[in-house]
A and B are shown apart, each in its own frame.
Chain A
């Protein structure tokens, strides 16, 4: 430090000049005030000097205090201790001066110490202040960072093309992303969980509620496919998924949900189904055509021979003279060919009726329920609602379940086809009831175009169809199945639509 001239001058100022100036100032001030006061005092009046020393020590520190003590002692000795204006001290005043000096030093020490501690406290306070400010700044910075991050997260959820929501544990909605609000066209507060059901397609709401209750009860994942009504009033298919957030105690804190638009996917799937259906219908038709061709060929062979023989026979008889011998031979061939043609017919018939004879105890209601499940997608696509009205306590019947299922499927598909053009509500009702001793009556009712007399008269005939792409075999097969089961099948025209009834007995 000594090597630095600036430090030296600072040191000089700090430890010599400044204490000196302060002590001189205070001592002079005390001296000036003591002169007038001394005139009325018996003993040298020193108290103002104590003040000067105190002030010097306070403002200038221990060095300034010490200097003030020296200066004050000299001033008192010179001016106020007899002999006046001399540095000598009278005998009787020596104790007095000594006491003053001691007191003065004590005051200096005390005052400067006090000052020192006060300064230390002040510094400590300042440091504390600075540290608090720093800490506050840090807090503000991290707050801003958190807010920034939250904003980014929120923007992210808004930017996701899916619709997102959050509910509390009870299912009350707390948050919607913009996508969902835009799709629904409502304000978030309007949509309580109750109201949420109102924007679902009525047919999908029960499944939604069922799955939601199940997910809430188990605290597991929630998933359902449902149609949700948009702001334009139209429905779109969504895959709705929700995951619970679990708290430390394992209870659900809130639910995070997402709606994925699967409308296009549904359309593709339906288009696929339709084309599959067309394909199978086509292949059915193809095999029918092939079979028809083969039957036609089988029958045409003996017919061709028969026609040729008949003509030959006539020619033999018409010839001059009539060749009876040849005519008889030809007639014998005619008989043979007729027998052959008839054999072809019975062979074809046995081909159609040839099947494994299956009879097993079957619950008709189960068959109907299975069928309804099978038809669900098809019905949704065709905008048909399927209703089941199944009687309790129906006896198990001994039937071929595959054939009865086929029968039910044919009737249901016919019903749905009949409603394809109808403008009103499309409703297919399948009902079962006990209609006699161990006899069950099943009815398939549609609200379609209905049946006129001409159709009713021929509808069970093979190859009779009213559909442009129909094979005309559906009802004919139904009748064959029912006849094989010793049951009855009949159609009944309704004011709107038609009903097909069939009965099955337990002895079938």
Chain B
């Protein structure tokens, strides 16, 4: 991959704590600070959603039982709107179906209150790693899309056909162009997309399509 991680991933990762109990919010954020992590407190799912932007980096430590929107509902809402921030779920009593649903929806960890600091910190470490990976993947995608936008209509057509495995001759036939013109377009596509090889170009195309 020639694409470098975007500047977003360099942002400081923060632990977002959502619990309706202010004492827990306070204690957990104190614990985060004592472990050298940045923390922000929210007393409800709605409050978190207000502050939520795609630029947020870090992870969510979320209580299941919340007034208004529940933790599970918030998780689903975030997944739907593509805000893929990693989530650690807290509950007073972990019933199996709830754990299964939360894990299915992509939760990193499920903690039963009360829990040891190591459990939470390990989960946060995992969540941060996942967040970084997601973030860099996302910024790569954004770079590819930016590059693709610089292509002309013809170049985009050629890109599509090349990545579909068509030979230059076939492309020329299909687009009623000369072989030389097709080769020229192809070189321009490789340059603009900053692809080192055909394989590289196919990979970028696949990523963009998904």
Chain A residues in the interface with B (C-beta under 8 A):
293, 296-297, 300-309, 311-313, 315-316, 319, 323, 326, 329-330, 333, 336-337, 340
Contacts A301-B92, A312-B31, A330-B30; is A307 near B21 (CB within 8 Å)? no
Chain B nearest CB, measured from A334 CB (Å): 9
Which one of B24, B26, B34, B93 has the highest number of Cβ atoms from chain A below 10 Å of its Cβ? B34
Interface set, chain B 82-112, CB cutoff 8 A to A: 90, 92-93
Contacts A301-B23, A307-B115; is A326 near B93 (CB within 8 Å)? no
Chain B nearest CB, measured from A312 CB (Å): 4
Contacts A307-B114, A312-B34, A326-B34; is A301 near B24 (CB within 8 Å)? yes
Q: Once bound together, how far apart are the Cα atoms of A300 and B91, in whole Å?
A: 9
Q: Once bound together, how far apart are the Cα atoms of A302 and B24, in whole Å?
A: 7
Instruction: Report the nearest A residue to B20, measured CB to CB.
Output: A301
Per a CB cutoff under 8 Å, which of B24, B30, B33, B34 touches A304? B24
Does chain A have a CB within 8 A of B203? no
16 contacts between A and B (CB under 8 A): A300-B92, A300-B93, A301-B21, A301-B92, A304-B24, A304-B90, A304-B113, A304-B115, A305-B21, A305-B28, A307-B114, A308-B30, A311-B34, A323-B34, A326-B33, A329-B30
In the bound complex, residues from chain A placing their C-beta under 8 Å from that of B31 are 308-309, 311-312, 315
Chain B residues in the interface with A (C-beta under 8 A):
21, 23-24, 26-28, 30-31, 33-35, 65, 90, 92-93, 113-117, 120
Q: Once bound together, how far apart are the Cα atoms of A297 and B114, in whole Å?
A: 10
Q: Once bound together, how far apart are the Cα atoms of A282 and B131, in whole Å?
A: 46
Per a CB cutoff under 8 Å, which of B21, B35, B65, B114 touches A306? B114
Instruction: Report the nearest B residue to A307, measured CB to CB.
Output: B114
Per a CB cutoff under 8 Å, which of B27, B28, B114, B120 touches A300? B114
Q: Once bound together, how far apart are the Cα atoms of A300 and B92, in whole Å?
A: 6
Ranked 9 nearest A-B pairs via Cβ: A311-B117, A315-B34, A304-B113, A308-B27, A304-B114, A305-B27, A297-B92, A312-B31, A307-B114
B65/A337 in contact, CB under 8 A: no
Q: Once bound together, how far apart are the Cα atoms of A323 and B34, in whole Å?
A: 9
In the bound complex, residues from chain A placing their C-beta under 8 Å from that of B23 are 301-302, 305, 333, 336-337, 340
A333/B30 in contact, CB under 8 A: yes
Instruction: Report the nearest A residue to B25, measured CB to CB.
Output: A305
Per a CB cutoff under 8 Å, which of B24, B30, B113 touches A326? B30
Q: Once bound together, how far apart are the Cα atoms of A293 and B64, in whole Å?
A: 14
Instruction: Report the nearest A residue to B111, measured CB to CB.
Output: A304
Q: Once bound together, how far apart are the Cα atoms of A313 and B27, in whole Å?
A: 10
Per a CB cutoff under 8 Å, which of A296, A315, A333 touches B27? A333
Instruction: Report the nearest A residue to B90, measured CB to CB.
Output: A304
